[in-house]
């Protein structure tokens, strides 16, 4: 990341978060109440920090499972690049 460049925040509503992660909106509201995810209130509506949603979804086993079954996780296999010509080189992937 460039020195003076701020990271762009992505924020989503409660209903968007619920759809993306395959959970009930009440589950997202409970996470807000329990301070498990970060958010701001804009015009009286919760706007949830997407990065905190990802971290929360990976910490909670039931949410992780629902994400894979009903949320965005169910589409991951379809997103994989099968043509090696366009796949990233193993040399360019940094190990974690």
Identify whether 48 is part of a domain.
yes
Q: How many domains does the chain have?
A: 1
Identify whether 33 is part of a domain.
yes
pLDDT digits (tens, 9 = 90+) for 28-64: 999 999 999 999 999 999 999 999 998 998 888 777 7
Model confidence pTM above 0.95: no
Identify whether 1 is part of a domain.
no
Identify whether 91 is part of a domain.
no
- Which range marks the domain in which residue 36 is found? 11-69
Quote the pLDDT of residue 81: 65
Identify whether 35 is part of a domain.
yes
Q: How far apart are CA 71 and CA 53, in angstroms?
A: 13
Q: How far apart are CA 25 and CA 31, in angstroms?
A: 10
Here the CATH number for the domain that contains residue 45 is 1.10.1660
Rg of the chain over CA atoms, in angstroms? 16
Identify whether 89 is part of a domain.
no
Structure tokens at 49: 């920090």
């Amino acid at each position: 990341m460039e020195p003076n460049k701020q990271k762009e925040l992505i924020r989503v509503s409660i209903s968007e978060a619920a759809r993306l992660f395959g959970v009930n909106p009440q589950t997202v509201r409970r996470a807000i109440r329990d301070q498990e995810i970060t958010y701001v209130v804009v015009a009286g509506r919760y706007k949830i920090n997407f990065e905190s949603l990802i971290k929360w979804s990976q910490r909670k086993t039931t949410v992780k499972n629902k994400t894979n079954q009903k949320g965005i996780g169910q589409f991951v296999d379809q997103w994989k690049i099968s043509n090696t010509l366009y796949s990233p080189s193993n040399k360019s992937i940094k190990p974690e």
